[in-house]
Each structure stands twice: as structure tokens, then as C-alpha cells.
Amino acid sequence: MFDIGKKSADKGQQDTGAQAKAPQPSAAADPAARRSPATPREAAVIGPSIHIDGDLRGEEDLIIEGEVNGTVQLRNNTLTIGAQGKVSADVFAHSVYVDGYMEGDLFGSERVCIRKSAQVKGNITSPRISLEDGARFKGTIEMDPQAVEAALGRRRGAAPAAPAPQEQKAAQPSQGNGKPDAASGIKR
Amino acid sequence: MNAPGRFTVQAHPPGAEPLNAPLFASLIERLQAAEERCIVLDLGPARTETLALFGQLRARLDIVDLAESLDQFDDVDEPDVLRERAERLLPPRHGDGAHVVLCWDLLNYLKRPALSAFMTAVAERTRRGAFAHALIAYSSARMSVKPGIFVPVDGQRLVNVSPPQAERDSPRYSPEDLANCMHGYTVERARLLRNGMQEFLFRL
């Protein structure tokens, strides 16, 4: 029943459509794959009956079809939130694919892909973001390369211990009521 | 940088007629010329085409998807309640307010008190000198039951990609109505487009 650590290849017919769609990067082409000790590229699966509260870290690709609350860190690997997956967490991964429900901040050092069945509420920071029509999204999409690099750089430079997602939030500008004095920079 | 007309997004769906939107084009030109990071508060739904267009600029998109939540403003007239609902829908106020607000085919779907409360809350999330670009059904006495989904075709044209819908009466807010409801917004320019919609560029 407990699917963590099981390779998706072992699950055979139980694999979901989301899993079938999960990317399978070749180790030769993908530097992240070379860095990962999990040389076979099958992903671990958190099954639909699993509920996890807390920090989830790993060095292999992961598919979440269950419920996860907390943080998810797969810095060199791919996270897929399957169609049945429900994640309320801040997520840090090399690549993130969302088919299911996600609430929290998404950091993808390579890419974030929001598919048409996804419901996402939160903020996305990644150099490559795609969003399929039909996906429900509310939040912020950071596409400025410098801002993305700064955000991800801060993440990379964080202490090796578990990073605190609230740091990022605390680093954001305070929520003042007044408007900034600086000119908008747009020519009038 | 590309000229605005050379921004490419993607082909519009068959049957959907792209609409020249000169004020939108001028806005994109300004953003392009600024060559600075811009923050866009998009009151519409998240769309690939919008992402593609602003992805060619140094942009952050704050997506509100107001159309999904319009019913929260039905049958409510109390300013405090309207304000509280607007605050819940909008992103938190950041020190770095938005440079641009996109408001395509939404204002006619809010009654006057809701329009006033919501757009006041929006204004508080912008910086001085920000622009608000709006499309409002104006010529016709009827409008679709739900707001159309407008997306950019390129840096000059917009297209409504929503499927045909039933219609209802339109409040047909005039520039005077909008001025009365939207405090702090000044109409910089307005144009009547060939589909009967009024295009507005507001300054905050």
C-alpha cells in the first residue's frame, strides 16, 4: 500500500495516465539525470491512498497521486503531481509537471508545466513556464529571467539543511498600503 | 527588441476574428521601450497566449481570474462586504505595485457598487502612473452571459476565444459611468473598436 520508493515500473497496470505522461529524460541528455544517484529513470510514486504531512526530499523523480502537505524538495529531479494528486506545499524541483491540485509556491530550476486538468493556486518561479488552456490558475507567474535567477539563486545558495519556504516569503516586499514612490519606468 | 507587431503568440482559433486594438498596441510599445521589468495584474484567466506575449518582456504576471468569481458580487451592495470580497480575490499588496492592469470584458459584469469597490482595491495594487487597459461592450444593448475570453494574437491584436454563448442585457457603462465608479482612474485614451467594444487606456 505504501508506494514511496517503489519504482513505477513495478506498478505495471496501476500506472496512471499522468504517470504515462511524465517526462523520461535520458541520463545522457539531462545533466540533472547525471547528477542523480537514481540511475534508472523510473519515478517513485506516492499512491492515491497516501497522505503525507511534512518535508519530503529525494534524489529521484517522483509522481504524487496522493496528498502531500508541507514542502517537497527534489532539486535535481522531476516532480509530477498526477491528476489525483493534491499538494499543499512549497515545491522545489528541477522540473515540475502539474495535472492535479496544487496550492503553494512552485520553484522549477528548469521548467514548470501546468497541464489542462490542473488547478493551481500559488506562485510560479521558473525560467520556462507553460500553461495549457483549460488549466485553472490563480497567482503569480514570474517570467523575468533576472528575477527568476535571483529567486532560484537564493534557493541554490541556501544552507544544505532544509530551506525554509517562509524565507522566500519574508524576502518579498512588505505589503504596504501606499504606492511606491519610484516612477513606473514606462514612458509617458 | 521586436516591434510590437512582430511579437508572435500563436494562431487564433478558427472562426475567431482578431481585433485591432490600437491602445493595446501602444501599451505594449511602451512596455517594450521601457526595457524594465514590468508587473502585470491580469484580471482575466491564465492563458497561454498572454503568457507567451509577456514572456517576451521582462514580466511578472499576477493572475486574478475574476470571471470565475463574479457571482461573489451578485446581490451585494454593502461597500464593506464588497471590499472584503475584492480583497480576497486579489493578490496581496506588494511594495512593488503593478505597472499594468489588464481588464478585458469584465467591467460590464460588475454592478456599480461592486465595480467601485473592486477597482479601488485594484488601484491600491498599482504604482503611480500605472496603466489599466480595458475592453468594454458598449455599442450593443446585449452582451454574452459570461465575459468573453480575450487573448493577444500579437502585440497589436486581441481575439475573443470563448465559445458562443447566450446573451443578457448590457449595462453599457459610458466613460462617465466609469469615471464615477472608478476613482483614481483617468481615461488617457478611448477608442470604439469595430466589434462595438470600447477600448480604454486608463492612467492611475
- Residue to substitute from A114, A115, A143, interface B, most B β-carbons within 10 A: A143
Mean pLDDT computed over A129-147: 90
ipTM over 0.90: no
* CATH label, B19-67+76-203, candidates 3.60.10.10, 3.40.50.150, 3.40.50.1820, 2.60.120.10: 3.40.50.150
Share of chain B above pLDDT 90, in %: 69
Per residue in B135-174, pLDDT (tens digit) is 998 888 889 999 999 999 999 999 999 888 899 999 989 8
Residue B14: which pLDDT band, with cuts at 50, 70 and 90?
low
CA distance B116 to B177: 10
Separation CA A14–CA B68 (nearest Å): 35
B11 confidence band (pLDDT: 50, 70, 90): low
Residue partners of B192: CB distance under 8 A and separation at least 6: B138, B139, B198, B199
Half-sphere exposure of B180 (CA within 13 A, CB side): 8
Give the pLDDT confidence score for residue A163 in this predicted structure.
40
Band (pLDDT 50/70/90 cuts) for residue A147 is: confident
Q: What is the model's pLDDT at position A148?
A: 84
Residues of chain B by 3-state class (helix, strand, coil), percent to 5: 30, 30, 40
The residue ranges of every structural domain in chain B are 19-67+76-203
pLDDT value of position B104 = 96
- Identify the helix (H) or strand (E) that includes residue A113: strand A106-114
State the best of B50, B57, B60 to mutate against chain A, taking most chain A CBs within 10 Å.
Answer: B60
pLDDT band, residue B8 (cuts 50/70/90): low
pLDDT of B21 above 70 = yes
Q: Looking at the predicted structure, is the pLDDT value of residue A1 above 60?
A: no
- Summarised one tens digit per residue, pLDDT across range B59-106 is 999 999 999 999 999 888 899 999 999 999 999 887 779 999 999 999
Q: How do residues A22-78 score in pLDDT, each as one tens digit?
A: 444 444 444 444 444 445 558 999 999 999 999 999 999 999 999 999 999 999 999
What pLDDT, on a 0 to 100 scale, did the predictor assign at position A153?
A: 76
Query: Is A185 within 8 Å of B131 when comparing Cβ atoms?
Result: no
Burial profile B61-74: b = 16 or more Cβ within 10 angstroms, e = fewer: bbbbbbbeebeebe
Contacts of B59 in chain A (CB under 8 A): 143-144
Total residues belonging to chain A: 188
The DSSP string of B33-60 is HH-S-EEEEE-S---HHHHHHHTTSSEE
Using the Cβ of A27 and the Cβ atoms of chain B, whether some distance falls under 8 Å is answered with no
Query: For residue A158, is pLDDT > 90?
Result: no
User: In this complex, do B68 and A136 lie within 8 Å of one another by their Cβ atoms?
Assistant: yes
Distance from CA of A121 to the nearest CA of B (A): 10
Residues of chain B contacting A175 with CB distance shorter than 8 Å = 92-95
Minimum CA–CA partner of B64 in chain A: A138
Q: Where are the alpha helices (DSSP H) in chain A?
A: 8-11, 17-21, 31-35, 145-156, 165-171
pLDDT at B202: 96
Q: Which residues of chain A lie closer than 8 angstroms to B65, CB-CB?
A: 136-138
Of A136, A177, A180, the CB nearest to B96: A180
Chain B residue numbers touching A106 (CB-CB < 8 A): none
pLDDT digits (tens, 9 = 90+) for A68-108: 999 999 999 999 999 999 999 999 999 999 999 999 999 99
Per-residue pLDDT for B13 more than 70?
no
Q: Say yes or no to pLDDT of B3 above 60.
A: no
* pTM for the model: 0.79
Whole-number mean pLDDT of chain A?
73
Let me know: does B102 contact B133? Beta carbons within 8 Å. Answer: yes
pLDDT tens for B95-109 read: 779 999 999 999 999
Q: Which residues from B are below 8 Å from A141, CB to CB?
A: 46, 51, 60-61, 63
pLDDT of residue A16: 40
User: Hey, are the CB atoms on B46 and A141 less than 8 Å from each other?
Assistant: yes
Inter-chain CB pairs, A–B, below 8 Å: 106
Task: Mutation target for B interface from A113, A131, A149, A186: give the one with most B CBs within 10 A.
Answer: A186
Q: List A residues 151-180 in contact with B (Cβ-Cβ < 8 A).
A: 172-177, 179-180
Q: Which residues of B touch A (CB under 8 A)?
A: 30-31, 33-34, 36-38, 45-48, 51, 54-55, 58-65, 68, 91-97, 99-100, 124, 126-131
How distant is the Cα of B46 from the closest Cα of chain A, in angstroms?
6
